[in-house]
Structures are given as structure tokens and as C-alpha cells.
Amino acid sequence: MEGWDPNTKSTLTQIPLLTTKAGPRDGAAWTLRLKEEYKALIAYTQMNKSNDNDWFRISAANPEGTRWTGKCWYVYNLLKYEFDLQFDIPITYPSTAPELELPQLDGKTQKMYRGGKICLTVHFKPLWAKNCPRFGIAHALCLGLAPWLAAEVPILVDSGMIKHKDDATTSTES
Amino acid sequence: MEVELKEMLSDLQSLKQSLPDPSLHDSLDKIQSRVEHLADLAKAAPVRRSKVKDMSAEVVDSNPYSRLMALQRMGIVENYERIREFSVAIVGIGGVGSVAAEMLTRCGIGRLLLYDYDKVELANMNRLFFRPDQASMTKTDAAVQTLSDINPDVVLESYTLNITTVEGFDTFMSSLKDKSFCPVKQGSGVDLVLSCVDNYEARMAVNQACNELSQTWLESGVSEDAVSGHIQLLIPGETACFACAPPLVVASGVDERTLKREGVCAASLPTTMGVVAGLLVQNTLKFLLGFGQVSPYLGYNSLKDFFPTMQMKPNPQCSNGACLKRQEEYMLAKPARDAAAKAKMEAEAPSEEGPLHDDNEWNISVVDDCELGGPETKSSDALPEGLTRELPSADEFNNLSAPGAPVTDIDDLEDLRRQLEAINSA
């Protein structure tokens, strides 16, 4: 973890770790895991709010908790850029990490696989593998998505690939 | 088009007759022959061959299987026509999978099951098989289109789905279990699964399915830099499964600010992919038709043309529960397997026909080394005398969570869900 900034590190240590190694096909054990996921997400969201660093909303899109949808945003040059966020829990979870998708950015950046799956290979997958099954969705957002947004959004904005929603409306009006 | 060309020919004829100047006839004849040539081309529209009921070994130009059936005459394959009874599932119809599918189709495989969720793109055209006019079709549909033209005898099933999702995996499993193609066969509904996917998640999903179904599969891969590849045979319980030896993960400790931008686009070459597909299908044919030896692992380093092979035993501490179950079954079946191997050895061994040499001046005799060594049943992880292990031999991690098993989780899932929603909307 050397190389990560101290803020991310201290945040990470405060997200509760998970213990149940279970995927969506494991019945009761998955319910147990799901509860741990919720607890970690609740703790992480609360922490973000109290630190004035709120940056995502996520909730299960089906009762089984295998599909999740929500939003995430990033502030750059005092402007807020917001994106839809979605992902499926793979059947081999938690051995393999969820593949986080930002469908609105599909095709706009090289650091992305088809369908808007963000590239996590280098900065996140090794950490996930080493910490299986202790890391969950909250950790994936903290260590996978947050750094990706921090690295990608400024480049996307500066290169004109994405526009702030206010700019977008004014340009269409004019 | 044919009609138009015919009209053009008759126009030319009348023009020729009406022309008084014979010096122009030569150039008119030239035009006429070119039009006739075009008419011939138009007539040679694509012809689809009809289905063939039995594979024939007859050597005639019109027999699509004569060269394959010749494998029998050459003594390589005992009964080639058996290939029509086999079902092969190919997961991932990309640079390797599509070529493997074409090879098996041309070999006259009985049934192919094709899985992919992607679409054909122009960026795929540096590989074999797909054509530019198929861009934006799903890979499975485009493959069925081409393959059914090449060989209508092959039963093709296409599944456009992502096997790592819950629904996709369920469909994947049930399609593998479907035995309607050859109900008399034992095991699952397919004879072999070929993994031709390009990512770790999908390989782990194939691994999970095959471990649960006790289904033998072949894994293949081409490196990101396009200059090396590998194939691997995975027999659940007998050889290492894909989770037995997890990839060496090294947290490189990258700072998010230094994340490189040119990471995702992997290189690919039609050559490396073709070689790997060829190795994969060659071993598939050996496995199905029972000739030669199937490589347990075969690497390909194209820079030095180096082909390493090795064998991997299953990991008794594998993180995959289904793998451990298959390992146990394999251990339990050992006596039966040994007996079968012994019977085979005896059947193949030449009957004793007296001494090999008439005289034996030095009294040399061959001694059975099993007798001397006594019970040579030490497992591979047994240590030589005098050595002890400092650390416990098994990973104790799994046992740690066991004592606290009855975690008194009073929280209700719905409660937690509502809590998160409350925070989300706050």
C-alpha cells in the first residue's frame, strides 16, 4: 500500500473488514455476506459525509443483492461531474472483484473496457486478491473507483471529452 | 444482374450487325467476351453444400471428409467418424475461440456451443475469421453465419451472454448439462469445454462450472504483448484447477496520480492467436479421438520459439470448494484406477517367452525395485528424516473463522437496506 496517499489509507482502515467468504450462489452464507457488505457501505458513506467528502450513492437493484446501481461524482475546478454507476456481483465473488461500470463514459477513455467497465487491473486487482475475502463493495469503491475518477475526470474534462451539465445546456441553447 | 448482362450481349450483337465499318468489329468482340466473362461470374453465385449423412473415405473432389478419413488409413486415428458424436463448448469467440471453432467445424465436429457477449468490431480485423462486413453483429451470430456455410453438418448453438453474471452462469451451466444431443453418454452434455476468454473473471467462472460438473476443460491464453501464449488441460480433481495456483499478485503500490493512460489496449497478432488456436484444437482432437498424448500444459514463447511443458498437481488447500470435492473423489477412486492400469499393462506386456539371452555369463538379473523399497507410499510433501516443519503445513486461515461460526447476527437484512437508503437520501 506504499504509494497511496495518507487520506485514502486512513479512510480505508476505518471501513469495517468482511469475514464471510461467500458469493451469490452460496445461499444463506451469501445473506450473511450481504449484511457485512451493507454494514461496510453504511460505515463508509457515513464517514464520507462527516468528512465532507460524500462522493457516491449505491443501492442494490434486486432483492438478491447481485446487481447494484447508483451515482458517483467528482469535483474538478469547482464543478461537479456526476456519472451513473452500476455493477454485477460475479458468481466467483469474492475471489474476483466486481467490475465497476460507468456506462456514460463508454468509448470516451482508453482506461475502460467495453460496456463502460473501468480498468482496475493495475491499481486495484492485486490489492483485492491479497485481501480476499476481507474487502467488499465499499473497499472496491474506495480503492478502485475513487482513484480512477481522480485520475480520469480531469483528463476527460481538459480534453473536452466531457462537459459540465451547465456548459452543455448553455451551448445547446446558444 | 444476369438478365441485364444478357440484354447487353444482344444489344452488342445488333450493334455489330448494323455497323458498316468492319474495322470496329475487333474492339466490339473484345467487349463481348468481357461481358460473357462477367455473366459467368454472376452465374457462379455462392453454392451451399447439402448435409452429408455418413462420412465417406472415398477419394473424390466432392467429398469434404476424404482427407480427414485418410487419418484412419494412415493409422493415426482408429475411428474418425466418431467425431460426429462429440460436443465441444467454446467460451469466448475472439481471436482464439473463433479460429478454434472454424477448425473444429472443418473437422466435422458433431456439435459446437458458442458463448460470447461481445460484438464484432473493426478493431478485431487484425485477427482471423471475422470479416469487416460482420462488424456490429454479435460474435456468436457472426460465427454461426460463417460456420454453417463452411459445414452445415455441424450442430451450432449460440449463447449471447456473460457467464460471470448470475443469470448468465445459470444458462451456461444448464446448457452444459443438456444431454439431448447424445443421451447415451456419461457425464455432462459436452465432451470438452474450451476456454478462449481474455480475462481472469471469466476463467474463474469456467473453472467454477467445470469443477462443479466434473467436466474436463482446456484453457488457452495469449499474453497482453501478443508474443506468447499457453494451453492447459484441466481435469477436476486430477490436475490443478485454475484457482489452485492463483496468479502471483504483486501490489505495485501505484499512486493514483501516476496511473498511466496507455494501459488498457492490449496488443494482438493473428499469428500468435492462430498458433495458440492450432495447439488448442490439436489437443482437443487428440483428447476426443484418442490418439497421441494430450499436453497437460504447453507454453509458447514466440520470441525464442520455445515450447515449455509441465504438469501441475491440484492444490490440497485450493480455495475452490468444488475442486477439493473432486480431489477427494479422485483419491477415493485410486484403487480402481490402479487395478485398471495394471490390467492394461498386463494385457499389453508381451507374454514371457523364456530368457532373452541364451547365456548369462555375469549372472545379471533384473530386480523389481518396488520390492526393495518397502512401502513407498510417502506423499510428495513428506519430509526426509531429521527435518521438521517450523510453520504449520496447512493454511490456518480457514480454521480461524470457524470457532466464531455462530455469529449472532441480529441485524435483519431489510433493516440494513433501509439504513443505507436513509443515509443515501439524507
What sign has the CA pseudo-torsion B362, B365, B369, B373?
Answer: negative
The predicted structure's pLDDT at residue A143: 92
> Is pLDDT of B13 > 90?
no
pLDDT value of residue B139: 96
Asked which of A20-34, B23-37, B159-173, B229-243 is least confident by mean pLDDT, the reply is B23-37
Beta carbons of A32 and B253 less than 8 Å apart: no
DSSP A101: B
Q: Select from A31, A42, A127 the Cβ nearest to the Cβ of B419.
A: A42
Identity of residue B64: P
CB B10 within 8 A of CB B16: no
Q: Is A142 a catalytic residue?
A: no
Q: State mean pLDDT over B247-272.
A: 62
Q: Which residue has the cell 497511496?
A: A4
Separation of alpha carbons A161 and A155, rounded Å: 8
Q: Which residues of A touch B426 (CB under 8 A)?
A: 49
Q: How far is CA A61 from CA A85, A86, A104, A105, B371, in A?
A: 12, 9, 18, 21, 66
pLDDT at residue B353 in the model: 62
Q: How far is CA B315 from the centre of its chain?
A: 23
Minimal CA–CA distance to B256: which of A150, A126, A137, A13? A150
- Indicate the length of chain A as a whole number: 174
State chain B's mean pLDDT as an integer: 86
Please tell me the predicted confidence (pLDDT) of residue B354: 64
Q: What is the pTM of this model?
A: 0.80
Strands A112-113 and B192-195: unpaired
- Three-state DSSP class for residue A59: strand
B294 closest CA partner among B244, B341, B232? B232
Beta bridge partners of B220: B231
> Which residue of chain B is at minimal alpha-carbon distance from A60?
B417
Residues of chain A with Cβ-Cβ distance to B419 below 8 Å are 38, 42
Strand A112-113 to strand A117-118: parallel, antiparallel, or no bridges (unpaired)?
A: antiparallel
Per the CB < 8 A criterion, the answer to whether A35 and B409 are in contact is yes
Interface check B27 vs A, CB under 8 A: no
Nearest to B330 by CA among B268, B240, B246, B254: B240
- Chain A interface includes B259 (CB < 8 A): yes
Q: What is the per-residue pLDDT across A102-154, written as a single tens digit (0 to 9) for each?
A: 999 998 988 888 889 998 877 888 889 888 899 999 999 999 999 999 999 99
pLDDT digits (tens, 9 = 90+) for A64-104: 999 999 999 999 999 999 999 999 999 999 999 999 999 99
Q: What are phi and psi of B301, to 5 degrees?
A: -110, 105
Give the gyration radius of chain B's Cα atoms.
31
Of B291, B294, B293, B289, whose CA–CA distance to B85 is shortest?
A: B289
Q: Tell me how close the Cα of A13 comes to any Cα of chain B, in angstroms.
A: 16
Cβ atoms of residues A88 and A142 within 8 Å: no
Whether residue B64 contacts residue B45, with contact meaning beta carbons closer than 8 Å, is answered with no
Going by their DSSP bridges, the two strands B87-91 and B111-116 should be labelled as parallel
pLDDT given for residue B256 in this prediction: 46
The closest alpha carbon to B229, from B206, B196, B262, belongs to B196
User: What pLDDT, on the 0 to 100 scale, is given for residue B29?
Assistant: 85
